[in-house]
């Protein structure tokens, strides 16, 4: 688990207010080495916000951007809702599967990438679309997928 003073800093930045639970969890997850909300962290946050741990888990399980399992440094969320389904979701999924040798719900052996399916990410106008972190990528082609992956690999120090 990340140091508690780091979590305290995040909680403080959001006024220790449970209204900001989603933002708090996203931020906490981003500083966790394995990019997830562990049981220990969920308990710590729940205690400090004085809310039931079940509420933390409701948020973690509802939002595709959060995870209660360890994830790769980069989480590739592939939209599988109708418009993307019609515009090439199957090809996009295949390109990522071929490039990373993993299936949705899995993480690459080097811990760099996880892949998951997600409902509409609000980018239907540029579908097929994916989201990685806060970045949305659309009008995907095989070349574009390769470019995105090599940029992300290059960004890792």
124 binds ligand FES (CB under 6 A): yes
Residue 154's contacts (CB-CB under 8 Å, 6 or more residues apart) are: none
Shortest reach from residue 102's CB to ligand FES, in Å:
21
Structure tokens at 4: 């508690």
Q: 48-87 mask for ligand FES (x: CB under 6 A)? A: -------------------------------x-xxxx---
Q: Which stretch binds ligand FES (CB under 6 A): 14-22, 28-36, 58-66, 116-124?
A: 116-124
152: left (phi over 0), alpha (psi -120 to 50) or beta: alpha
Specify the DSSP class assigned to residue 108.
Answer: -
Q: Cα(44)–Cα(12) distance, rounded to whole angstroms?
A: 14
Among 28, 127, 137, 149, binds ligand FES (CB under 6 A): 127
User: By the criterion CB under 6 A, which residues form the site for ligand FES?
Assistant: 79, 81-84, 120-121, 123-124, 127, 129
């Amino acid at each position: 688990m990340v140091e508690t003073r780091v979590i305290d800093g995040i909680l403080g930045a959001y006024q220790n207010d449970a209204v900001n639970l989603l933002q708090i969890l996203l931020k906490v997850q981003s500083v966790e080495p394995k990019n997830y909300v562990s049981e220990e962290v969920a308990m710590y946050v729940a205690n400090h916000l004085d809310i039931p741990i079940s509420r933390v888990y409701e948020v973690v399980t509802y939002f595709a951007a959060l995870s209660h399992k360890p994830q790769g440094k980069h989480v590739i969320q592939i939209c599988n809702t109708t418009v993307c389904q019609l515009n090439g979701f199957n090809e996009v999924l295949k390109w990522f599967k071929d490039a990373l040798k993993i299936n949705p719900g899995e993480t690459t052996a080097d811990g760099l990438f996880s892949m998951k399916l997600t409902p509409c990410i609000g980018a239907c106008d540029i579908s097929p679309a994916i989201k990685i972190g806060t970045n949305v990528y659309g009008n995907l082609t095989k070349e574009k997928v390769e470019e995105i992956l090599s940029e992300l690999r290059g960004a890792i120090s």
